[in-house]
């Protein structure tokens, strides 16, 4: 599962740290098994009664869409389906079409795939059921913007770099789209069951993949305030400002809200989330003989601040203790380096770790930021090992270049795309 397993383990300077590194990788592997999209989707749908419906259609989009779709097809008799994925493989069923799209910046092929999905949805009759499988990355993959694609791409780039959290980013996406924020239902005549793997802190269904089948709690006014908050109002393309102004003035219809008739035949169900991942980590750690504690599954805020707070708490613990947290932090990008919020969090604490401490932050989708790593691991000797190689962690941190720091030390966590996404997991251990 970890392509560089031996490097990560053998980089421990003491036998205790090598054992700790082995155990942490084992715990992370058990987390990925627990949040396997195929198992989760199959187990949920096989226990549902669909006898009241006519034909069943399937639409899946997001980083976990392929495995979710495969689970659904083995649990339910699907008449026709469509999958929009980031992966370069297809569902092996004649009645299921697979389209590859791009993430996190949408492209023309995302738009083409969405148009094909809408054509399929329009074939659903009133007595039919549309099962919608939603996972992280769906905001980019299901894409029918109100503005030119190049303007949407520019806006997405600005939002990803400014430090906005995912709820704020998705508020903008919803109000510049024809399908997000509950608006997908405007194309649907039949009943809808949305099965959702949450990649948003707190599991708000209106924010996960920008809530295509959920009542939206945000407004055009909120979208404007977010751009002002991050000093982006005058920097975004003029088409963005135009749509938001027209929405505030009532010239464009708001996204549908709670109580709208459009939601009368819709059920939104969270089938997996970060809490599930944290519980799996705790269970595995305890099976291995550790005393494990979940600190939070709703970690947010600046990655550097969050990391230091976790390590400070770890310092109060004893040998054999493991602390676990999960969520999604943010990074304000000022440098030109490579990395992501998980690697940045670990880099920010290398001078805070005592000799017997081990700390890891891991993206469950296998891709952290703009890198090919899922995260990184550090212990009380990481700073010493870096200095022996002439590496100044502060310079790498200043340039947001956590990836190359940990690549030099061979302490990146490399899994490739995992096919799932419930945000991030952090673990601290005293060895």
Same domain, 372 and 306: yes
Same domain, 155 and 265: yes
Give first-to-last CA distance, the chain, whole Å.
Answer: 23
Q: How do residues 225-279 score in pLDDT, each as one tens digit?
A: 999 999 999 999 999 999 999 999 999 999 999 999 999 999 999 999 999 999 9
Predicted pLDDT of residue 308: 98
- Does position 409 have pLDDT exceeding 90, yes or no? yes
Considering 247, 272, 297, which residue would you say is the last residue of a domain? 272
Predicted pLDDT of residue 163: 86
Band the pLDDT of 215: cuts 50, 70, 90.
Answer: very high
CATH number of 330's domain: 3.40.1480.10
Same domain, 318 and 421: yes
Strand 80-85 relative to strand 56-61, pairing: parallel
**How far apart, in whole angstroms, are the C-alpha atoms of residue 56 and residue 125?**
10
* Dihedral of alpha carbons 40, 303, 375, 335, sign: positive
- Does position 371 have pLDDT exceeding 90, yes or no? yes
Same domain, 422 and 392: yes
Percentage of the residues of the chain whose pLDDT score is greater than 90: 97
Q: What is the mean pLDDT of residues 121-126?
A: 97
**Contact (Cβ atoms closer than 8 angstroms) between residue 295 and residue 264:** no
Same domain, 256 and 330: no
Considering 272, 289, 318, which residue would you say is the last residue of a domain? 272
Predicted pLDDT of residue 92: 86
Cα separation values, 30 from 24, 170, 277, 428, Å: 10, 30, 9, 16
Same domain, 257 and 318: no
Same domain, 216 and 67: yes
**How far apart, in whole angstroms, are the C-alpha atoms of residue 170 and residue 214?**
13
CATH number of 76's domain: 3.40.50.10180
Q: What is the mean pLDDT of residues 22-31?
A: 99
Q: What is the DSSP letter of 256?
A: P
Q: What is the mean pLDDT of residues 51-57?
A: 98
CB proximity list for 234: less than 8 A, separation 6 or greater: none
Q: How do residues 320-362 score in pLDDT, each as one tens digit?
A: 999 999 999 999 899 999 999 999 999 999 999 999 999 999 9
- Does position 99 have pLDDT exceeding 90, yes or no? yes
Q: Which residue range is the domain that position 17 belongs to?
A: 5-34+274-430
Same domain, 203 and 242: yes
Q: How do residues 134-187 score in pLDDT, each as one tens digit?
A: 999 999 999 999 999 999 999 999 999 898 988 999 999 999 999 999 999 999
Same domain, 23 and 82: no
Same domain, 287 and 235: no
Element housing 238 (H / E): helix 238-248
Full DSSP string of 345-395: HHHTTTTT--TTEEEEEEETTS--TTSS--EEEEETTHHHHHHHTT--HHH
Domains: count for the chain:
2
**How far apart, in whole angstroms, are the C-alpha atoms of residue 137 and residue 169?**
12
* Dihedral of alpha carbons 161, 164, 166, 170, sign: negative
Q: Which of 379, 366, 386 is nearest to 428 (CA)?
A: 379
Percentage of the residues of the chain whose pLDDT score is greater than 70: 100
3-state DSSP percent of the chain in helix, strand and coil, to 5 = 40, 20, 40
Band the pLDDT of 394: cuts 50, 70, 90.
Answer: very high
Q: What is the mean pLDDT of residues 199-223?
A: 97
Same domain, 219 and 113: yes
Count of beta carbons in the 10 Å neighbourhood of residue 74: 13
**How far apart, in whole angstroms, are the C-alpha atoms of residue 62 and residue 69?**
11
Predicted pLDDT of residue 119: 98
Same domain, 178 and 96: yes
Considering 257, 272, 287, which residue would you say is the last residue of a domain? 272
């Amino acid at each position: 599962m970890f392509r560089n397993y031996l490097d990560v383990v053998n980089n421990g300077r003491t036998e205790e740290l090598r054992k700790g590194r082995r155990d942490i990788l084992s715990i992370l592997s058990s987390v990925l098994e627990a949040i396997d999209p195929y198992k989760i989707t199959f187990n949920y749908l096989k226990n549902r009664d669909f006898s009241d419906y006519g034909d069943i259609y399937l639409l899946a989009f997001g980083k976990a869409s392929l495995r979710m779709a495969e689970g659904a097809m083995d649990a339910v008799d699907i008449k026709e389906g469509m999958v929009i994925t980031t992966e370069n493989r297809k569902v092996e069923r004649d009645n299921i079409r697979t389209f590859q799209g791009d993430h996190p910046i949408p492209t023309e092929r995302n738009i083409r795939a969405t148009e094909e999905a809408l054509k399929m949805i329009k074939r659903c009759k009133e007595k039919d059921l549309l099962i919608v499988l939603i996972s992280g990355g769906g905001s980019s993959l299901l894409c029918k913007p109100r503005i030119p694609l190049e303007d949407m791409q520019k806006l997405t780039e600005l939002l990803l770099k400014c430090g906005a959290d995912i709820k704020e980013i998705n508020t903008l996406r919803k109000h510049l789209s024809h399908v997000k924020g509950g608006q997908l239902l405007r194309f649907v005549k039949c009943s809808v069951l949305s099965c959702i793997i949450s990649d948003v802190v707190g599991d708000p269904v209106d924010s996960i993949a920008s809530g295509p089948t959920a009542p939206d709690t945000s407004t055009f006014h909120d979208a404007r305030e977010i751009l002002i908050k991050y000093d982006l109002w005058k920097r975004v393309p003029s088409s963005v400002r135009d749509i938001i102004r027209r929405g505030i003035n009532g010239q464009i219809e708001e996204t549908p809200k709670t109580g709208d008739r459009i939601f009368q035949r819709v059920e939104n169900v969270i089938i997996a989330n970060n809490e599930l991942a944290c519980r799996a980590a705790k269970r595995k750690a305890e099976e291995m003989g550790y005393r494990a504690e979940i600190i939070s599954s709703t970690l947010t805020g600046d990655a550097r601040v969050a990391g230091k707070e976790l390590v400070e708490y770890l310092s109060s613990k004893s040998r054999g203790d493991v602390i676990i947290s999960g969520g999604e932090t943010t990074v304000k990008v000022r440098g030109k380096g490579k990395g992501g919020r998980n690697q940045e969090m670990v880099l920010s604490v290398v001078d805070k770790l005592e000799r017997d401490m081990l700390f890891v932050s891991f993206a469950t989708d296998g891709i952290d930021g703009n890198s090919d790593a899922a995260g990184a691991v550090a212990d009380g000797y990481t700073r010493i090992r870096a200095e022996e190689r002439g590496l100044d962690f502060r310079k790498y941190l200043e340039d947001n270049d956590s990836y190359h720091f940990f690549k030099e030390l061979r302490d990146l966590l490399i899994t490739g795309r995992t096919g799932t996404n419930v945000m991030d997991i952090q673990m601290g251990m005293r060895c």
